[in-house]
Amino acid sequence: MHHHSKITDLYQGFLSTPFLWTKKPLNKLSQLQLPLHKATPTYEGILPSNIRLGKIVERFVSHELNQYDSINILRENLQIIENKITLGEIDCLLKLQRQFIHLEIVYKFYLYDPDNSSEEIDRWIGPNRKDSLLQKLTKLKEKQLPILFHKQTKLHLEKLQIKLAEIKQKTYFKAQLFIPLNLVNKKFILVNNQCIRGFYIRLKELYLLNENTFYIPSKIDWLLDPNSEDNWLSYTDFELQVTQQLNNERSPLCWMKDKKGNTGKFFVVWWN
């Protein structure tokens, strides 16, 4: 089980992460516009210790949406099954005032790789290059959102007495973005620049940070902002630990603290 105050810290880290885009749709996908209301910054539930980050985020979104009087969650993680095969899942069906909404929930970490393409949308990639923003948007559009229109889904909607025509599809898409050290002041057109949480570097540039102390948080703690109470590593110890992860083709998220006590987040990436 995760320690209670720690869960609240994780929840606050989640809440303070901005939406990856706001008013205008991105690739024809619209974000859920939440009514004005301050969500309470505490989380009452407990989390199993082996829970994945994506599952934590789903619980946090659920908890946040439940704070609103105008939102009524009808179904969560609705499995759509045909002939014993799971075709997909609807993250959330809710009613916001009088509007029914099919909501898909995404929380991602993307790095900006200027060499990946000439288009900005193709330049936001996962820390291990396994996924990208464009792939995720495409999957939402071609796989996850169309599940609403499957004939098996209709049975669930009938039980809820909802007509397909009454449902709008929205995303709840938050992200933390990291950019190359030399582009730290760049403004990006497609994305909400408030999502930028730090930079990324390669092992050969690590020496630039050798005045600092470091910490390598577990994956779940990627939600957090660096805090002061951890066992900070010396540069030498840190370099050793990071190198082990890079050798396994894992790009770790790291925290650093400078001599003045200022902290920051960054990725060290194994790819060139």
Tens digits of residue pLDDT in 56-73: 999 999 999 999 999 999
Orientation of helix 4-15 relative to helix 53-65, angle to 10°:
80
Structure tokens at 54: 């994506």
In 83-121, DSSP assigns E strands to 85-96, 99-112
Instruction: Place 4 in a pLDDT band, splitting at 50, 70 and 90.
Output: low
Instruction: Render 237-249 in DSSP notation, one character per residue.
Output: HHHHHHHHHHHTT
Residue among 242, 244, 178 at smallest CA distance from 205 = 242
How many angstroms separate the CA atoms of 263 and 225, rounded?
A: 9
Domains of the chain: 4-181 (no CATH), 196-269 (3.30.1490)
Instruction: Place 3 in a pLDDT band, splitting at 50, 70 and 90.
Output: low
Residue among 50, 67, 76 at smallest CA distance from 11 = 67
Summarised one tens digit per residue, pLDDT across range 197-225 is: 999 999 999 999 999 999 999 999 999 98
Summarised one tens digit per residue, pLDDT across range 152-179 is: 999 999 999 999 999 999 999 999 999 9
